[in-house]
Structure 1
Amino acid sequence: MKFTSAAEPVSHDVIRQMVMRAATVAAKALTDTEQSAEGRLRTLMDSHGEVLAARGPGHPLTFESFMTMLADDLAGLLPDGVSPEEMAGVHLINDDGLFEEDLFDLDQEQREVARAVQKATQGGRSTSLAEIEQEMDQVTVNSGLRKRGTQEAYAKGRADLSRMPAGTEAAVRRLNLPSVVGQYYRPVSFAALYEQWWFACPVCRWPMKVTRHRSRKSASGRVQCFYRPHAELMGASYTFKIPAAGKPPTLIPGSPPPAFTGAASVLAPDLRGPVPKPMPSAGYVALARGPWRYTTIPGLLEIALYDALIARGFAAAPESHMSRAALGADDNCPGSVTLWPFLDTYDLHVDVWLPDGRTQSFQLDVKDFTSEMLLAKKIQADGGDVGGAEWIVVPDHREASLPLLRGVCEEFSLKVATAGEVGQTICRTAGIRWA
């Protein structure tokens, strides 16, 4: 399956990216009431200039029209002749008049595609793409972890970033991360604070977004994970009544979302624990958004899939392709599993030891993109999976993306499945139960 974008000039991708970035910054400034009016106006004017540069001299746009269009379909800011693709139907500001956080994810994913396209083309690199690469925090984080050189050190670092995206300064220091990685732990952002308190998402443990809503008769608040699936599909969304001055809010959970069923139920998080409690901002730090979104979030799924296979009898292998004898596994062991093999060339390597003495291997690469179209475009630009995986695995809540991804991946002999489906496939091959 080919996208029309594969044949269009790279400049169209750059135009979409320039418009996305400028509009995202502008919408954030427009809705950020904590910033000074002068600072907000300056940001809006700069962003307007960036959009004009992307549109070109043949497509003028007045400042007044730009401001109006920030609340409409993002694709309207593109010049004629540039397909909206992943920007179609996207709104920068939601119905509550608040900035739409998913725009950060789309911006990051656009940059991932730009990097892949740049690597795949023979021409020189443009300045904009060089800047894009430098801005991608999670790329720097993963490179920093690899510098330790050993599989064990890399796997520990990746696991630590997934299991502790926020914590006390002392706890983060004890992780003993490379300094280039540790610098991405920063004070809890203002958007996640209610006065001096913050709340950890029960799924990912990162500080949740705090918003206040006022009407003529009452005032209330909402706390929800910045990662939409955690908030909408896994229950990480709460309300609260405005407390007395100097007191932290008490969170009230909403109606529980429908439970995952079938193969997807194995990896679904258990949220039957207590409601998140207020944590003091003093002395706590949290990962920057990029490493949290594209290292912590997929890392939690990778670890969950690894743990699920271990729980079903698979042996933990420090390196891939290890034999039953080398691992000291008994005859009932169905196989082995390695997490982030070859310093994260791909995400999981699973060997199933078949009764006839053969080994069937599964090389899995977990991908969690907000935009399935951008993920498909990246796979095309990479010419398949850049690390040599044979399976592209998406979270169970992104099952709807499978038809599009399968159409693209067929060209590169890649298989595509949700995490629950691939776990079930592995266990069926091993002759054991998954769910």
Structure 2
Amino acid sequence: MTSSTENSTQELGDVRVRYLVTRAALRAAKAVTEPGLEPQQRLATLMECHGTLHAARGPGIPLSFGEFRHALGGNLAALLPDGVDPLDLEGMLVVDRDGQVTEDAFDLDLEQQMLLHTLRKLDTTAGVVSDRELQSEIDQETAFTLLYKQGDQAVYEAGRSDLIRSPSGAVDDLCELRLPPLVADFYREIPYNSQFEGWWFPCPVCRWPMRIVLRKNSGALVGAVRCWHAPHADMGASYLFRPTMNTSAPELLTEPSPARPSGREAVLYPDLGDIPLAVPVAGHKAVSRGIWRYTTVPGLPELSLYDRLVDRGLKVKLWPGLDAYDLLVEAGPKRAKKVPFKVDVKDYTSAATLAKLIHAQDGDRGGAEWLVVPDYRARQVPLLSGVCEKYSMRVAAASEFGEMVCEKAGVSWT
């Protein structure tokens, strides 16, 4: 009979293998696609990544350097050794048709890193993992820790809200944000793959620099701009432009976007507003990708849900107890005792990785009783419900949850 300790060790081993394979493929893909690298730099990085892959696969499962290079353009799961469940790596591409590293590959890398980091903290025997990127806190956790150490609920709320609402901007404006100095240091230069001839475009949904690529279309060069977060791009944060022959600012043209949803989903659906204007790279910065992806992106539905419920007369607290969980909603008929709803909001590309993280943490250690996902992750609810049920947690998409608590309060969500 296999013991729980053996199962835990096997699980940690599989998570580590998936992480190292994804990390090796992602770093190698970035080395291949990033402009400006000298050939020897590309080769050195590829060889280092090939070595990382061999360490993950083990000595009995070799993969030649040529096979590794070829595999970067195919299914990521093919790089895993036999016996390791690929989960969401199956069918995942690291490099897309534009020769750019895919958004989902970045997401999976960060999500697996967070899961492995959590497992290592919970399991003292996991200290054998020596990959240097796992020896330090990821940016997102470090920023939270720095805000938490202030020991002031109002300071925490103000700082975290600023990271969500202002993930990029002019340096002079960013200096006015309510952030401790060390947290402000996470604002960095505009990413090179979000620049074109000294210009960049903020996503109309999240305000972070959008990705820019150039494509050949019927012999003509066309610029394509889209948010790095695929759901935002799918909502309409996706544009085209004609590259200019001088230093003037390029102008975006909209691509066809889906119709705005009706019913309860319309309440939280973002308003994209006007077409984004080009912003000069000089004098502007943006938060690091980790903070944007796991503070700004999930923070948007947190704040949106907070705002809409407060507008409807419900009592809601943001990140109570210095982020024990995300929202405390109190709902019930007038003059009746209110029922508290303790909510954690998560936005993971990989539902399987999030499920494993919930399991590793035995639910939510902060005391959340509800797990809420953005409406565009609604398909994850059945899988997550099966996991969360073991820990007396319930799962809902954001609009479903908003409608439910409004009904209990006797007010209309729509």
TMscore range, shorter length: over 0.9
| Deviation at residue 248 of structure 1 after TM alignment | 1.9
| Deviation at residue 430 of structure 1 after TM alignment | 0.5
| Deviation at residue 129 of structure 1 after TM alignment | 7.1
Cα deviation, 1:360-398, whole Å, max 9, x if unaligned, reads 010000000010000000000000012110000000000
CA–CA distance in 2 between the matches of 1:125 and 1:206?
35
Which position in structure 1 is the counterpart of 2:351?
Answer: 372
CA–CA distance in 2 between the matches of 1:124 and 1:71?
32
Which position in structure 2 is the counterpart of 1:322?
Answer: none
Which position in structure 2 is the counterpart of 1:391?
Answer: 370
Q: Does the 8 A contact of 1:118 with 1:129 survive in 2? A: no
- CA 1:230–1:125: 2 relative to 1, 3 Å: same
CA–CA distance in 2 between the matches of 1:202 and 1:280?
16
Which position in structure 2 is the counterpart of 1:327?
Answer: none
Q: Does the 8 A contact of 1:354 with 1:360 survive in 2? A: no
| Deviation at residue 355 of structure 1 after TM alignment | 4.6
Q: Does the 8 A contact of 1:363 with 1:389 survive in 2? A: yes
Could you say what secondary structure the match of 1:123 adopts? helix
CA–CA distance in 2 between the matches of 1:9 and 1:141?
28
CA–CA distance in 1 between the matches of 2:215 and 2:336?
64
Which position in structure 2 is the counterpart of 1:362?
Answer: 341
| Deviation at residue 85 of structure 1 after TM alignment | 1.6
Which residue, 103, 107, 119 being the options, matches 1:105? Answer: 107
CA–CA distance in 2 between the matches of 1:102 and 1:376?
17
Q: Is residue 2:30 matched to residue 1:20?
A: no
Which position in structure 1 is the counterpart of 2:399?
Answer: 420
| Deviation at residue 84 of structure 1 after TM alignment | 1.2
Which position in structure 2 is the counterpart of 1:250?
Answer: 251
Could you say what secondary structure the match of 1:97 adopts? coil
Could you say what secondary structure the match of 1:153 adopts? helix
Cα deviation, 1:112-156, whole Å, max 9, x if unaligned, reads 111222233353523437842614100001111112111111000
Pairs within 5 Å for 1:221-300: 221-232=223-234, 234-271=235-272, 273-300=273-300
Which position in structure 1 is the counterpart of 2:214?
Answer: 212
Cα deviation, 1:196-228, whole Å, max 9, x if unaligned, reads 111110001111111111367211100111111
CA–CA distance in 2 between the matches of 1:216 and 1:337?
54
| Deviation at residue 286 of structure 1 after TM alignment | 0.6
CA–CA distance in 2 between the matches of 1:28 and 1:113?
23
| Deviation at residue 6 of structure 1 after TM alignment | 6.1
| Deviation at residue 354 of structure 1 after TM alignment | 3.5
Cα deviation, 1:262-301, whole Å, max 9, x if unaligned, reads 2221110012x22110111111111010001100111111
The amino acid of 2:311's aligned partner reads A
Cα deviation, 1:224-273, whole Å, max 9, x if unaligned, reads 111110001x10000011212222211000112132232221110012x2
Q: Determine what percentage of the aligned residue pairs are the same residue.
A: 44
Which residue, 133, 153, 156 being the options, matches 1:154? Answer: 156
Pairs within 5 Å for 1:77-96: 77-96=79-98
Which position in structure 2 is the counterpart of 1:329?
Answer: none
- Report the more deviating stretch, 234-243 or 86-95: 86-95
Could you say what secondary structure the match of 2:125 adopts? coil
CA–CA distance in 2 between the matches of 1:34 and 1:374?
34
CA–CA distance in 1 between the matches of 2:121 and 2:199?
43
| Deviation at residue 407 of structure 1 after TM alignment | 0.8
Could you say what secondary structure the match of 2:130 adopts? helix
Pairs within 5 Å for 1:102-141: 102-123=104-125, 125-128=127-130, 131-132=133-134, 134-141=136-143
Could you say what secondary structure the match of 2:14 adopts? helix
Q: Is residue 2:340 matched to residue 1:339?
A: no
Which position in structure 2 is the counterpart of 1:301?
Answer: 301
The amino acid of 1:221's aligned partner reads G
CA–CA distance in 2 between the matches of 1:274 and 1:339?
29
CA–CA distance in 1 between the matches of 2:124 and 2:71?
37
Q: Over the residues paired in the alignment, what is the CA RMSD in angstroms? A: 1.9
Q: Does the 8 A contact of 1:194 with 1:248 survive in 2? A: no
Q: Does the 8 A contact of 2:155 with 2:178 survive in 1? A: no
CA–CA distance in 2 between the matches of 1:356 and 1:129?
57
Q: Does the 8 A contact of 1:111 with 1:133 survive in 2? A: no
- CA 1:28–1:259: 2 relative to 1, 3 Å: same
5+ residue gaps, structure 2: 1-5
CA–CA distance in 1 between the matches of 2:197 and 2:11?
48
Which position in structure 2 is the counterpart of 1:313?
Answer: 313
CA–CA distance in 2 between the matches of 1:43 and 1:410?
44
Which position in structure 2 is the counterpart of 1:332?
Answer: none
The amino acid of 1:71's aligned partner reads G
TM-score, normalised relative to structure 1: 0.90
Q: Does the 8 A contact of 1:115 with 1:129 survive in 2? A: no
5+ residue gaps, structure 1: 315-335
Residues matched between the structures, number: 410
The amino acid of 1:308's aligned partner reads R
CA–CA distance in 2 between the matches of 1:249 and 1:213?
15
| Deviation at residue 419 of structure 1 after TM alignment | 0.7
Which residue, 66, 69, 83 being the options, matches 2:68? Answer: 66
CA–CA distance in 1 between the matches of 2:385 and 2:236?
30
- CA 1:208–1:339: 2 relative to 1, 3 Å: same
- Report the more deviating stretch, 347-356 or 97-106: 347-356
